[in-house]
A and B are shown apart, each in its own frame.
Chain A
Amino acid sequence: DAMVIQNPRYQVTQFGKPVTLSCSQTLNHNVMYWYQQKSSQAPKLLFHYYDKDFNNEADTPDNFQSRRPNTSFCFLDIRSPGLGDAAMYLCATSRIQGSGANVLTFGAGSRLTVL
């Protein structure tokens, strides 16, 4: 089945120790997103790739970086995690073709704990 796969599902790190989360997709979607979601809050968009074009949200801290080496993979790097970065990180994909519904397909998420 075509899908969005995130690894790891659970990540525990120490304060300040870098973390990399990965996302792969077999849907051949041209857009990939990284969202941060804290308990009982809406997902917050960190950045997205439209094909190879990187789009950073204005309020995304510099501590968060991303790489998309090819259309199937995307990585989220947290350079120096703080306690406030503990959250669920959601990768999503969509196929945007002109106007119309931009339906997102989400991976299962990576839950980050910072000690």
Chain B
Amino acid sequence: QVHLQESGPGLVKPSETLSLTCTVSGGSVSSGGFYWSWIRQSPGKGLEWIGYIYYTGNTNNNPSLKSRVTISVDTSKNEFSLKMDSVTAADTAVYYCARMGQHLVRGCFDIWGQGTLVTVSS
């Protein structure tokens, strides 16, 4: 059974970089057909898809976050990561990693991590 676990600092200062890692267990991030995603949830904006990465390194990010987001994958560690630059209070949210696959229907998220709260504050 595939399990996802987010890790990273819970507090980030404004203008700095948010960095989170999602460790995949019970399966391989290199499995074809799965896209490894980041999603966040804040009271103000609800659920917001941030972006995804395929094990080959191909990515697709939400244009609303422009070029602030970088998603990377480390197949040797079976994990993928999120970096978000120049954070503001508006980036305060619970961040989830999730698996998206074609095996059910394109673009649905069938496995989620438990989520991690990131607060942007000085």
A is bound by B: no
